[in-house]
Structure 1
Amino acid sequence: MIINTLIKLFKRDLAKLKEEIELYNDEANLWRVTQGISNASGNLCLHIVGNLNHFIGAEFGNTGYVRQRDLEFSLKQVPRAELLQQVDQTIHVVENTLIKLTAEDLQKDYRRRADEDAMTTAYFLVHLTMHLSYHLGQINYHRRLLDLD
């Protein structure tokens, strides 16, 4: 079933997110931006965590998570250890939520906003994996470009 595939992909890419955050030589560079790069890796990490906890945790798992999207991009200097802890918690939320979804749940209509066309829950979950991968690539590039010895 697609649920097992989604769980594997989310766990793989969230583990890679942790690895990227850990690979920074200088923790301060997690928050560095430069011309042409407007989002620091630390903020992208917070955004990924917020996005998945909101859409998977709160929307599908009824976790009660309340997203503060503006803070995902405005908070600075969150310690690396705290970022890693948040990613670990997100892995747990994603896995525990997705494992409970049924084939019927995946075929239900889902809308992020009332003015948006409906999509299936399965389609939206695939979208979320691609969203994670997109930002993971940005973080990898950011690290290699801005975290110079």
Structure 2
Amino acid sequence: MLIQTVKTLFRRDLERLRQEIDLYKNEAIIWHTERGIANSAGNLCLHLVGNLNTYLGAELGKTGYIRQRELEFSLKGISKASLLEKIDDTMVVVDNALNTLTETQLEGEYPMLVFEEKTSTGYLLVHLTTHLTYHLGQVNYHRRLLDT
């Protein structure tokens, strides 16, 4: 049951992320930061794509993805179309990785140490859904605040 729940939540929020990025009227604003706003919507999008491709794609789905986390926050000016494509590709990666999981694996230890202590795969999946939702809210706020 948890697998289907997180699959639904990832799909819902990745589609919302796609909608948020697509709603920017001025594509340049996607990369804009203001006083007190540390990360642009574009960088948050790259961070979420990198995060999910690492912990779900590479680790659980065995995609071979290699994360370059520093670039998630330093790259600028990637086109809106390219960001949307990255989100679409990530939705496929997430679905494929979750389709390989069993309920038994959820209870087992996640194969990579992510936090200070080992966690179950189920715990990490719940964490990843809340991480996505947290940054999705930031993207939404960024767009409504700056893309006027």
| TM-score under structure 1 length normalisation | 0.96
Gaps of 5+ in 1: none
User: What is residue 97 of structure 2 aligned with on the other side?
Assistant: 97
User: What is residue 40 of structure 2 aligned with on the other side?
Assistant: 40
CA distance in 2, matches of 1:98, 1:47: 20
Residues 115 and 94 of structure 1, relative CA distance in 2, 3 Å threshold: closer
User: How do 1:37-116 and structure 2 match up within 5 A?
Assistant: 37-110=37-110, 112-113=112-113, 116=116
Q: How many residues align?
A: 148
CA contact (8 A) 1:43 1:75 kept: yes
Identity of aligned residues (%): 55
Please tell me the residue identity of whatever aligns with 1:6. V
Please tell me the residue identity of whatever aligns with 2:98. L
Q: Residue 37 of structure 1 aligns to a residue in which SS?
A: coil
Gaps of 5+ in 2: none
Q: Per-residue displacement from partner, 1:53-87 (whole Å, max 9, x unpaired)? A: 00000011111000000000000000000000000
Residues 111 and 36 of structure 1, relative CA distance in 2, 3 Å threshold: farther
Q: Per-residue displacement from partner, 1:101-149 (whole Å, max 9, x unpaired)? A: 001110111264387211110010000000000000000000000111x
User: What is residue 23 of structure 1 aligned with on the other side?
Assistant: 23
CA distance in 2, matches of 1:31, 1:15: 20
* 1:99 CA drift (Å): 1.2
| TM-score under structure 2 length normalisation | 0.97
CA contact (8 A) 2:53 2:90 kept: yes
CA contact (8 A) 2:11 2:91 kept: yes
Residues 95 and 114 of structure 1, relative CA distance in 2, 3 Å threshold: closer
